[in-house]
Amino acid sequence: MIKGNNRHHYIHHASLILLLLIGFVLFFQFRGFPYRQIFISSIIASIYVIWGIIHHYLKGDLHIRIVLEYSLIAILSIVIVWGAVLR
């Protein structure tokens, strides 16, 4: 049985997985439209950063380092997608 905080932990991560899966589906639906794929990737990366901020705020351990980490991972993913899609 999942108790209190652990249950919220699983719900938070399940929501992140669902958001990322929706992003992947949309990304592949727009094959052949590279700028739309980059746009979708940017939206998903932004949602990822927002999710991370909310998640850590609710956990009570939100720090600027965590915001920077999520932001840098999101920027790196956009750069990788940009390079792969527009090659």
Q: For 50-72, write each residue's pLDDT tens digit.
A: 999 999 999 999 999 999 999 99
40 lies in which domain range? 4-85
Q: What are phi and psi of 2, to 5 degrees?
A: -90, 130
What is the per-residue pLDDT for 8? 78
Within the chain, which residues score under 50 in pLDDT? 1-2
Give yes or no for a contact between 41 and 81, defined as CB atoms under 8 angstroms apart.
yes
What is the per-residue pLDDT for 2? 45
Q: How many domains does the chain have?
A: 1
Q: Quick check: pTM over 0.95?
A: no
- The pair of structure tokens assigned to 28 is 């592949």
What is the per-residue pLDDT for 7? 79
Q: Which residues, 6+ apart, have CB-to-CB distance to 18 below 8 Å? A: none
